[in-house]
Amino acid sequence: MTKAEIVADIAQKTGIEKVAIQATVEEFMNVIKESLAGGENVYLRGFGSFIVKKRAEKTGRNISKNTTIIIPAHNIPAFKPAKTFVLDVKKNVK
Confidence of residue 93 (pLDDT cuts 50, 70, 90): confident
Name which CATH class applies to 47-94: few secondary structures
Superfamily of domain 1-40: IHF-like DNA-binding proteins (4.10.520.10)
Average pLDDT, the chain: 94
pLDDT of residue 52: 96
For the chain, the distance separating the N- and C-terminal CA atoms, rounded to the nearest angstrom, is 18
Give span(s): CATH 4.10.520.10, the chain. 1-40, 47-94
CA-based nearest residue to 69, from 81, 56, 59: 59
- pTM (2 d.p.): 0.78
Q: Count CB-CB contacts under 10 A for residue 51.
A: 15
Q: Which tens digit of pLDDT belongs to each residue from 5-23?
A: 999 999 999 999 999 999 9
Q: Averaged over 16-35, what is the pLDDT?
A: 96
